[in-house]
Amino acid sequence: MMRENKGMRALQYLILAIIAVLFLLPLVWMLFSSVDPHAIQAIKLPSHLTMANFSAILTDPNIMRSFGIGLLVSGFQAFFVVAISVLAAYPLSRYPLPWKKPFLLSILFLTSLPMTAVIVPVYQMFLYMKWQNSLIATTIFMISTSLPYGIWMMKNFMDSVPEGLEEAAWIDGSSVWGGVRKVVMPLMLPGIFTIAIFTFTGSWGNFFVPFILITAPEKLPASVTIFQFFGNNGLVDYGQLAAFSVLYTLPVVVLYTFAQRYMSKGFSFGGAVK
Amino acid sequence: MKLRNYALIGVAALSALVLTACGSSSKSKKGVTTVKIAWRGTGKSDSMYRVYSKAWIADFEKKHPKIKIELQPINASEGDYFSKLDLAMKSASTAPDIVNEDTFILPSDAKAGYLTDLGPYVNKWSDWSNYNAALKKGSQGSDGKQYGIPGTTDARGIWTNLAVTKKAGLSSDWTPKNWDDILSAARKIKKADSSAIPLAIGVSTTNGESVAMQTFEMFFYGTGETLYTEKTNKWNVNSKGILDTLNFINTVYNKDKTGPSMSVVMNANYGSTIFQDKFPKNQVGMGLDGSWTTGNWVKGGAAPVSNMTKKFAFNLMPTQNGEAPGYVTMSGGWAWAIPAKSKNKTAAFTVLKAMNTKKKAVDRALMEGTLTVRDDAAKDPAYLKKPFIEQATKALKNAYFRPKNELYPKVSVAIQKMVEDVASGQKTPKAAAAKYATDVKAIVGAENTETQK
Amino acid sequence: MDAAGVVPPRKKPRNAQDKAKRKLAFWLMIPSFVLLLIFFITPMVLTILFSFTNLSLTGANASALKFIGFQNFVTMFKDPQLAQSVWKTIIFVVFSAVIGQCFFGFLIAFMMRGKNRTFRRIVGLIIIAAWVTPEVVVGFCWVAFLGDNGTLNLLAHSLLGMKPVAWLYTFPMISIVIANIWRGTAFSMMVFQTALDDIPAEVEEAAVMDGASRWQLVTKITIPMVRGTIATNIMLVTLQTLGVFSLIYTMTGGGPGNATATLPVFMYKQAFVAYQLGYGTAISLVLLLIGALASLLYMRVLKVRL
The CA distance from A94 to A35, in Å, is 53
Task: Count how many domains chain B has.
Answer: 2
* Of residues C291, C289, C283, the one with CA closest to residue C265: C283
Tell me, yes or no, whether B208 and B287 share the same domain. Answer: yes
Q: Does residue B398 form part of some domain?
A: no
Residue of A nearest to C21 (CA): A95
Residues B175 and B78 in one domain: no
Q: What is the CATH number of the domain that holds B307?
A: 3.40.190.10
Name the residue range of residue B211's domain: 156-330+404-450
Say what the pLDDT of residue A268 is.
Answer: 29
Across the interface, which of B3, B11, B207 has its CB nearest the CB of C31? B11
Residue B17, chain C, CB below 8 Å: the answer is no
Is B15 part of any domain? no
Residues B354 and B409 in one domain: no
B202/B126 same-domain check: no
Q: What is the pLDDT of residues A220-254, one digit of tens each?
A: 999 888 888 876 656 678 888 899 999 998 898 88
Q: Report the pLDDT value the prediction gives residue B14, as an integer from 0 to 100.
A: 55
Task: Using the predicted structure, report yes or no on whether residue B11 has a pLDDT greater than 60.
Answer: no
Q: How confident is the model at residue A264 (pLDDT cuts 50, 70, 90)?
A: low
Q: Is the pLDDT of residue B177 over 70?
A: yes
Note the pLDDT of residue B60.
95
User: Chain C: nearest CA to A212, how far in angstroms?
Assistant: 13
Task: Report whether B189 contacts B176 (CB < 8 A).
Answer: no
In a domain, B390, yes or no: no
**Cβ–Cβ contact A87 with B under 8 A:** yes
Instruction: Enumerate the domain spans of chain C.
Output: 1-40, 81-201+228-301
Are residues B318 and B340 located together in one domain of the fold? Answer: no
Lowest mean pLDDT: which of B9-13, B300-304, B412-416, C173-177?
A: B9-13
Chain C positions contacting chain B at CB under 8 Å are: 2, 4-6, 24, 27-28, 30-31, 34-35, 56-63, 139-140, 143, 147-148, 166-170, 249-257, 269, 272-275
Among the candidates B348, B369, B390, a domain finishes at: B369
CA A38 to CA C8: how far, in whole Å?
67
Query: Are the beta carbons of B253 and B422 closer than 8 angstroms?
Result: yes
- C251 contacts B263? CB cut-off 8 A: no
Instruction: Give B330's strand partners.
Output: B400
Alpha-carbon distance B453 to nearest alpha carbon in chain A (angstroms): 34
Q: How many CA atoms lie within 13 A of C133 on its CB side?
A: 31
Interface of A with B in 104-163 (CB under 8 A): 120, 123, 127, 129-134, 136-137, 140
ipTM of the complex model: 0.84
- pLDDT of B25 > 70? The answer is no
Nearest-CA distance A213 → chain C (Å): 13
Please indicate, yes or no, whether residues B93 and B199 belong to a single structural domain of this protein: no
Q: What is the model's pLDDT at position C132?
A: 85
Task: Provide mean pLDDT across the span B215-241.
Answer: 94
Q: What is the pLDDT of residue C6?
A: 46
pLDDT in tens, B191-205: 999 899 999 999 988
Going by C-beta distance under 8 Å and a sequence separation of 6 or more, which residues neighbour residue C25?
A91, A92, A95, A97
Q: What string of pLDDT tens digits covers the 306 residues of chain C?
A: 343 444 444 445 567 777 777 888 888 889 999 999 998 889 888 989 999 999 888 888 888 888 998 989 998 998 888 999 999 999 999 999 999 999 999 999 999 888 888 898 899 999 989 988 887 788 888 888 887 778 888 888 888 888 888 788 888 899 999 999 999 999 999 889 888 877 777 887 888 788 878 788 888 888 888 888 888 899 889 998 998 988 898 888 887 778 899 999 999 988 888 888 899 999 999 998 999 899 888 888 887 766
B84 and B196, same domain (yes or no): no
Query: What sign does the dihedral C253-C254-C256-C258 (CA atoms) show?
Result: negative
Q: For residue C2, what is the nearest residue in chain B, using CA coordinates?
A: B1
pLDDT tens-digit readout, B320-341: 999 988 999 999 889 999 999 9
Q: Answer yes or no: is pLDDT of A63 > 50.
A: yes
Q: Which of A178, B15, A54, B20 is nearest to C31 (CA)?
A: B15
Predicted local confidence at residue C115, as pLDDT: 84
Please tell me whether residues B56 and B121 are part of one structural domain.
Answer: yes
Q: What is the structure's pLDDT at B395? A: 86
pLDDT at residue C166, as a whole number: 79
**B281 inside domain:** yes
Contact at CB, A252 and C128, closer than 8 angstroms: yes
pLDDT in the model for residue B5 = 62
All residues at 6 or more sequence positions from A60 whose CB lies less than 8 Å from its CB, including other chains = B44
Q: Are residues B192 and B45 part of one domain? A: no
The model's pLDDT over A164-193, given as tens digits with 9 standing for 90+, comes to 888 888 888 878 778 888 888 888 888 898
Instruction: Select from C31, C169, C257 the Cβ nearest to the Cβ of B10.
Output: C31
Cα C203 from Cα C206, distance rounded (Å):
5
Model pLDDT, residue C306? 61
Helix (H) or strand (E) holding A140: helix A135-159
Q: What is the pLDDT averaged over residues B291-319?
A: 87
Residues B262 and B190 in one domain: yes
Most confident listed range (A223-227, B104-108, B265-269): B104-108
The yes/no answer on whether domain C81-201+228-301 falls in CATH 1.10.3720.10 is yes
pTM given for the model: 0.85
Please report, for residues A44, B67, B263, C89, the alpha-carbon distance to residue C179 in angstroms, rounded to integers and kept in the order given. Answer: 21, 51, 18, 15
Which CATH number does A64-263 carry?
A: 1.10.3720.10
Task: Kindly tell me if the per-residue pLDDT of A84 is higher than 90.
Answer: yes
Dihedral in degrees, nearest 10, Cα atoms A33, A36, A38, A39: -10
- Asked if residue B92 and residue B208 are part of one domain, the reply reads no
Residue B350 in this model has a pLDDT that exceeds 90 = yes
pLDDT at C121: 86
pLDDT score recorded for residue C258: 82
Question: What pLDDT is attached to residue B1?
Answer: 44
